[in-house]
Structure 1
Amino acid sequence: MANFVLIPGMCHGGWCFEQLTTGLRAQGHAVHPLTLTGLSERGHLLHGAVNLDTHIQDVTGVLAAENIRDAVLVGHSYGGMVITGAADRAPDRVDSLVYLDAMVPEDGDSCWTLVTDQERRWYADVVETGYGVRPLPFFDPRATPHPIASLLQPLRMTGDLAHIRRRVYGYAAGWDGPSPFTPAYERLREDPAWTTHALAGGHNLMRDVPQDLLKILLEVVSNRT
């Protein structure tokens, strides 16, 4: 049995992983689909101090509370920032990292610095309180504002993640227009430390190609020793 911890992208909750969660549990694995602080059913916790560190602590807190020491952290989009930070801060609890059309930051990077001007214009469209970025019109109706501070705060890392057994990147090849994740994918597919997949879906891979993602995640844990 493996332990999967699933981290959503901007404006989404753990509900976005429903099909993956069902598929993994059917294979006998433990699955923890998280909703980050300030979002979805935790939207009442949205305030100006909810930042990237808060979301990393959401993950490390679950790892500690559930006493998980072999986690496969799966991050979609913004979730790549979170799983990178969590793997750095809880190195004895994380086995592998899977990025689903996601940010792959290094020390000092923030979402703001990694995206294009188009995404920055979206980030600037905040709700009346000033605390959250509005969901885009085509998002799931359940989407809620995303804490702006989490997009602006740089990631601070203490190590190089050399302890990670597997690093996997799933790239959405079916964007309607240019993908902001293409540079990361093209860089990583030339790196022998990474396994990369180009998938025939849009950015919401969990909705478009759930069975492909299930196969990828099962492969990550199929040869663990």
Structure 2
Amino acid sequence: MATFVLIPGACHGGWCFRPLDDQLRERGHRAYTLTLTGLSERRHLLTSAVNLQTHIEDVAAMLVAERIEDAVLVGHSYGGMVISGAADRLPERVRSLVYVDAFVPTDGDSCWRLTNDEQRAWYASVDETGFGVPPLPFYDSRATAHPLATLMQPIRLRGEGPFRRTYVYAKDWPTTSPFAPTYERLRADPSWTVHALDSKHNIMRDAPADLLETMLAAA
């Protein structure tokens, strides 16, 4: 049995991993789908003070509260920043990391630094609050504004942990994928297991069976 902790990308809640988490449980694993502070059913907590460290603490606190010691952290898109920080904070509680078409930062990186100009323009299109990045028009109707500070704050990482690392790349982007440079870098690194799927960015929705098998292999 493995313990999966599933972290959504920008503007999304834990619901984006259904029914993937149900299938994990049906196979005898534990699955936790986490909604980060200020998003979805926790959108009432969105303030200018919510930053990347807040979201890293969300995951770290859950690992401690649930007494998880062998987590497979799965992060989609922005969630790659969060699982990187949580694993660095509590490496003794993490077994492996799965990045689902996601950012893979090094110390000092931010989403703003790692992404492309198209995505930066989206980040800058804040709503009337001045600190919420609105969901894109094609997102699920449940998507909510995302805290701008989480996309701008540099991450602080102390070092490489002894984790298995898997990257899942989505090849079907309507424009240039902001994750293409990450994919090219990691597929040349023998310490990573890298997969490229004929899927749009929302791999959980568009290629769930392939993603499920990849996650199980990572565990």
Which TM-score band applies after superposition, normalised by the shorter structure? Answer: over 0.9
Runs of 4+ in structure 1 displaced over 6 angstroms? none
What's the counterpart of residue 12 of structure 1?
Answer: 12
SS at 2:18 equivalent? helix
Q: Secondary structure at the match of 1:197?
A: strand
TM-score (norm 1): 0.96
Once the two structures are superposed, residues 45-104 of structure 1 have per-residue CA deviations (whole angstroms, 9 ceiling, x without a partner) of 000100000000000011000000100000000000000000000011011000000000
- Deviation by residue 1:103-139 (Cα, 9 ceiling, x = unmatched): 0000000001001111111001111111210000000
- CA-to-partner distance for each residue in 1:159-189, whole Å, 9 max, x for gaps? 222x21x100000011112111111111101
- Runs of 5+ consecutive residues of structure 2 not aligned to the other structure: none
* Counterparts of 1:209 and 1:121, CA distance in 2: 28
* CA distance in 1: counterparts of 2:4 and 2:173, whole angstroms: 26
* Matches of 2:124 and 2:174, distance apart in 1: 22
Q: Percent identity?
A: 64
State yes or no: 1:46 paired with 2:26: no
Deviation at 1:157, TM superposition (A): 1.1
- In the alignment, structure 1 segments of 5+ residues that lack a partner are none
For 2:109, the equivalent position in structure 1 comes to: 109
Match of 1:187 in 2: 185
The offset of 1:192, in angstroms, is 0.5
> Map of 1:115-194 to 2, 5 A cutoff?
115-161=115-161, 163-164=162-163, 166-194=164-192
Q: CA RMSD in A?
A: 0.6
Give the equivalent residue in structure 2 for 1:92: 92
* Structure 2 residue aligned with 1:22: 22
What amino acid is aligned across from residue 94 of structure 1 in structure 2?
V
- The two structures have a TM-score, normalised by structure 2, of 0.99
Question: Which of the numbers 194, 198, 210 marks the counterpart of 1:200?
Answer: 198
Match of 1:220 in 2: 218
Write the letter of the residue equivalent to 2:213: K
The amino acid that maps onto 1:104 is V
Hey, what's the Cα distance between the residues in 1 that align with 2:129 and 2:210?
Answer: 39
Please give the per-residue CA displacement for 1:191-220, whole angstroms capped at 9, x wherever unaligned: 010000001110000010001001111112
